[in-house]
């Protein structure tokens, strides 16, 4: 799962600043949407709210649905249905709900239709603005075009686009049609893209000719063509002209966006879908080779996203929200559906934070008067190195909330974000959860003090806890992050793989969701994420399974076997190191290792290019041939190896230790 704050190296009590950095003032308390919710329901304190939500989840999520103004085409009969057991809980049973009606149509068709819904800034500095009414018209034209091209309710449709206005229209149009959209990371290589389209049995793909990045064009249609060889279920491909590059063309399969969308009608009646009907299939890698397809429904992920934006980030309809993300990371769909349900103005950004100059993001904040800003710690670490003059030269007075997710903070970068970006006055809303949870498990709220790098609360409605292996709560020590009751937004399982879903989250403690993070609740009530409790890698905010990297490595003719680990990286938070066993008779060299690095990047995308590829004669394994990645990582970083009683070949560990990280 795309866990949103799960780097392996986390601040410890020895190096962490636990002093309170921010305390809510009267202005934040008075504005608070969460406080108004409490007043409306006669709840005296925030602690009382958490207790009542945990004691009566049906009451809480029903009240949330009312507070968000969700539009129902058919009233629901029950808020929560546990008939199939906790892992398969349904919410708003019997209700008719298509989230696009709430996110788009109610705004466009009402008095707020001429309010700005979307501001887009391209890599080249170009900007576009769309009102809710204009966004609805573009969405409706696309929905009509897609229907004419054969897309029907329940079809899986891949969306392989950078962050463009048309990307938002594509997401919303597929929701209007009752189709299931499959978001893809715009930097994917053919193998990663094709495997997800194939697994999801997608029938249609939406992409563009090329994207712009750092002033250069990056091919996307060409990557899509290679991927479609691996996904024969895809029968048609709609192509947006973004750069005007010449692209390969498959007559009878490929269709230009500009040929079919602009002439289509701007009127479209949103398909009535059930509350528990799937609307999104989003892939995330695990510790085995095949990516996991998390299934999300109309009255699930969108409702949870909007709830978290309201409860944690205090997002309201007069806010302008910018989150530095890609559609393929869950924060992309989260931004679109959650932000629009809240009625806020979204800012989309195509490009990189330091191009054409290191003040790119701060200029964007100044120009578009961003009030809620979200950036992963990775980006802050990179921008810190550019110097403070770039940020101090830009007006950040519009900022009210700073958000962060992606990996664990270190105190220095957190302080820089708080002091420099937020001028010491804006709360940093740290937020951690993931793709399968539709958002946060723990976070911050603006009603409580905030300490650097920490979380001041479980997200309301999440009966979160820290437990030992038996499920018993623990305090003041590291344990498993768990959720004790189902919640709105919990995935409805993995696509065509219910057993894997149950094994991943529900098998360790009966009836309890075990998330896979180490966490700690300290004596002052502050929460901290202490690392991952599985092998999954998190590279610059993007999650990838070791087996997927290893498969890409063994695609090189010289590699017989490989193991991938994550290691601390100052910029990315975590970087990949691959240990490769050469095929017999291979003459190994540094240049050959570089070829393997490039092979992995070509398969999975440049973001997944390993920091190093190292040749070894053997990999540490158990007696049943399972690679012991934990032991590999410990040997490479010079850390205690932990339990090695199952290790079959200790000499392999010694060889890895000899090639230990250069900075050790």
Taking the C-alpha atoms of residue 251 and residue 444, their distance in angstroms, rounded to an integer, is 52
Average per-residue pLDDT for the chain? 92
Structural domain 103-238, CATH architecture: 3-Layer(aba) Sandwich (3.40)
pLDDT value of residue 277: 98
534 burial type by CB count under 10 A (0-12 exposed, 13-18 middle, 19+ buried): middle
pLDDT band at 3 (very low <50, low <70, confident <90, very high): very low
Q: How far is CA 384 from CA 344, 371, 417, in A?
A: 29, 21, 9
Q: Across 163-167, 188-192, 627-631, 636-640, which has the greatest mean pLDDT?
A: 163-167
Reported as type and span, the H/E element at residue 532 is strand 527-532
pLDDT(649) > 90: no
Q: For the ranges 152-166, 320-334, 637-651, which has the lowest average pLDDT? A: 637-651
pLDDT digits (tens, 9 = 90+) for 407-459: 778 788 899 999 999 999 999 999 999 999 999 999 999 999 999 999 999 99
User: CB–CB of 591/556 below 8 Å?
Assistant: no
Taking the C-alpha atoms of residue 545 and residue 244, their distance in angstroms, rounded to an integer, is 35
pLDDT band at 208 (very low <50, low <70, confident <90, very high): very high
545-658 has which CATH code? 3.30.300.30
pLDDT value of residue 378: 76
Domain ranges of the chain: 26-98+277-532, 103-238, 545-658
Within 10 Å of residue 23's Cβ, how many Cβ atoms? Answer: 10
Same fold: 26-98+277-532 with 103-238? yes
User: CB–CB of 562/579 below 8 Å?
Assistant: yes
User: What are the start-end ranges of the E strands in 552-646?
Assistant: 559-569, 573-582, 612-615
Reported as type and span, the H/E element at residue 292 is strand 292-297
CATH class given for the domain over 26-98+277-532: alpha beta
List residues bridging with 576 in a β-sheet.
Answer: 566
User: CB–CB of 439/459 below 8 Å?
Assistant: yes
pLDDT(116) > 80: yes
DSSP 8-state symbol, 607: G
> In this prediction, what percent of the chain has a pLDDT beyond 90?
77
Buried b (16+ CB within 10 A) or exposed e, 578-588: bbbbbeeeeee
Average pLDDT over every residue of 287-304: 86
pLDDT value of residue 1: 40
Taking the C-alpha atoms of residue 524 and residue 445, their distance in angstroms, rounded to an integer, is 16
pLDDT digits (tens, 9 = 90+) for 304-353: 999 999 999 999 999 999 999 999 999 999 999 999 999 999 999 999 99
Q: What is the separation of C-alpha 219 from the centre of its chain, rounded to a whole number of angstroms?
A: 23
Q: For the ranges 51-55, 129-133, 219-223, 599-603, which has the lowest average pLDDT? A: 599-603
């Amino acid at each position: 799962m795309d866990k949103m704050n799960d780097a392996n190296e986390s601040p410890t009590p020895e190096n962490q600043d636990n002093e309170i950095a921010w305390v809510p003032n009267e202005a934040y308390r008075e504005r608070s949407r969460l406080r108004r919710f409490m007043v409306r329901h006669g709840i005296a304190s925030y602690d009382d709210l958490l207790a009542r939500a945990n004691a009566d989840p049906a009451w809480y999520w029903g009240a949330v649905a009312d507070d968000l103004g969700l539009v129902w085409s058919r009233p629901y009969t029950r808020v929560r249905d546990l008939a199939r057991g906790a892992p398969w809980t349904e919410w708003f049973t019997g209700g008719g709900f298509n989230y696009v009606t709430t996110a788009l149509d109610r705004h466009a068709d009402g008095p707020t239709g001429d309010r700005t819904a979307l501001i887009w800034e391209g890599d080249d500095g170009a900007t576009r603005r769309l009102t809710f009414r204009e966004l609805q018209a573009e969405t409706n034209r696309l929905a009509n075009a897609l229907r004419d091209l054969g897309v029907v309710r329940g079809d899986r449709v891949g969306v392989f686009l950078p962050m463009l206005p048309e990307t938002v229209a594509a997401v919303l149009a597929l929701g209007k049609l009752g189709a299931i959209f499959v978001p893809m990371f715009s930097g994917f290589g053919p193998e990663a893209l094709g495997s997800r389209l194939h697994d999801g049995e997608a029938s249609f793909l939406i992409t563009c000719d090329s994207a712009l990045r750092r002033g250069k064009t990056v091919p996307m249609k060409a990557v899509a063509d290679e991927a479609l060889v691996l996904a024969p279920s895809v029968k048609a491909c709609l192509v947006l002209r973004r750069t005007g590059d010449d692209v390969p063309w498959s007559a009878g399969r490929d269709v230009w966006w500009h040929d079919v969308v602009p002439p289509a009608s701007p009127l479209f009646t949103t398909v009535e879908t059930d509350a528990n009907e799937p609307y999104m299939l989003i892939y995330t890698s695990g510790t085995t080779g095949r990516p996991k397809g998390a299934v999300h429904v109309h009255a699930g992920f969108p409702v949870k996203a909007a709830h978290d934006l309201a409860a944690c980030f205090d997002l309201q309809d007069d806010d302008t929200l910018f989150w530095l993300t890609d559609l393929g990371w869950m924060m992309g769909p989260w931004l679109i559906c959650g932000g629009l349900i809240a009625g806020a103005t979204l800012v989309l950004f195509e490009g990189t934070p330091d191009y054409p100059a290191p003040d790119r993001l701060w200029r964007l904040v100044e120009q578009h008067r961003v009030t809620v800003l979200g950036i992963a710690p990775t980006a802050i670490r990179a921008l810190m190195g550019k110097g403070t003059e770039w940020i101090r030269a830009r007006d950040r007075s519009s900022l009210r909330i700073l958000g962060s997710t992606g990996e664990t903070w270190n105190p220095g970068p957190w302080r820089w974000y708080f002091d420099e970006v937020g001028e010491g006055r804006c709360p940093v809303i740290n937020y951690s959860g993931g793709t399968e949870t539709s958002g946060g498990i723990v976070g911050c709220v603006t009603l409580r003090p905030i300490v650097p790098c920490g979380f001041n609360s479980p997200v309301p409605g999440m009966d979160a806890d820290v437990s030992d292996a038996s499920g018993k709560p623990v305090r003041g020590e590291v344990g498993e992050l768990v959720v004790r009751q189902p919640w709105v937004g919990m995935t409805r399982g993995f696509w065509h793989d219910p057993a894997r879903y149950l094994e991943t989250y529900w098998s360790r403690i009966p009836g309890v969701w075990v998330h896979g993070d180490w966490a700690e609740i300290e004596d002052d009530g502050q929460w901290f994420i202490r690392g991952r409790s599985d092998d999954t890698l998190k590279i610059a905010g993007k999650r990838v399974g070791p087996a997927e990297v290893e498969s890409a490595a063994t695609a090189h003719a010289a590699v017989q076997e490989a193991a991938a680990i994550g290691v601390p990286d100052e910029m990315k938070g975590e970087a990949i190191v691959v240990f490769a066993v050469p095929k017999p008779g291979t003459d190994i060299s540094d240049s050959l290792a570089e070829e393997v690095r490039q092979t992995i990047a070509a398969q999975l995308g440049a973001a997944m290019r390993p920091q190093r590829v190292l040749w070894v004669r053997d990999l540490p394994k158990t007696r049943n041939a399972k690679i012991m990645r934990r032991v590999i990582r410990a040997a490479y970083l010079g850390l205690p190896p932990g339990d090695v009683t199952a290790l079959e070949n200790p000499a392999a560990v010694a060889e890895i230790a000899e090639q230990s990280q250069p900075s050790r």
